[in-house]
Amino acid sequence: MMPPHIATRVPSGPPRNLLWTVDQFHYLGDLGMFEGRRAWLVDGVIVEEGPMNPLHRISLELSENVLRAVFGSGWRVCNQMPLVLGQTTDPEPDLAVIAGSPRGSTSHPTTAALVVEISDSSLRYDTTLKMSLYAAGGIADYWVVDVANRQLLVFRDPKPDSTTSHGHSYTTNLTLGPADTISPIATPNVTIPVADLLP
């Protein structure tokens, strides 16, 4: 039986799409519905991606190691964990850097200092819908590691933009190659070689 705080009411009227809330999505996850699968929730729709290929996994590991070293204590580097950006959206980014400690936390984070998505087959999705979603969520620093083209796409300075899926985009858009470096907005005195994020 579904707990009362996430129960749904059957609506009257014509057929409609069934949209999920974050609480319902997490409950399904607790039941093991997504075990061994990569699923997230965007605007009430459960999105599933295929199995992670080796280059994606390697880049994810490399990026996580780099970010843990760069941010250090006082920061959490969350790997494919909930990031609740509204009642119907939890994109579960590949990496999210969150201020603070997990000890004492009682709920999922709702913002991040940096979000990183590792892209291969999902590049278009990550640079359009997810880009607009993160901008709308106030994420100031969004990186896409483009594995296939061996580059880092950096999005900064969220702004309203009525032409995008979630009404927001970024003012700053950078494309960096393996020979370039990047500094996170939250740790401006630290320089990361883009090559360190690439497989």
pLDDT tens readout for residues 125-169: 999 999 999 999 999 999 999 999 999 999 999 999 999 999 999
What is the CATH classification number for the domain harbouring 86?
A: 3.90.1570.10
Domain shared by 142 and 60, yes or no:
yes
Domain shared by 42 and 55, yes or no:
no
- Asked if 164 and 175 count as a contact pair (C-beta separation under 8 A), the reply is no
101-126 pLDDT tens trace: 888 788 899 999 999 999 988 899 99
Domain shared by 39 and 68, yes or no:
no
The pTM score is 0.88
DSSP state, 36?
T
Residue-by-residue DSSP string for 64-131: HHHHHHHH-TTEEEEES-----STT-B---SEEEEES-STT--S--S--SEEEEEESTTHHHHHTHHH
Domain shared by 42 and 59, yes or no:
no
Domain shared by 132 and 98, yes or no:
yes
- Residue range(s) defining the domain that contains residue 22: 4-46
d(C-alpha 78, C-alpha 108), whole Å = 11
Domain shared by 141 and 188, yes or no:
yes
- Asked if 87 and 20 count as a contact pair (C-beta separation under 8 A), the reply is no
Residue given tokens 């039941």 in the structure block: 31
52-77 pLDDT tens trace: 899 999 999 999 999 999 999 999 99
DSSP state, 20?
P
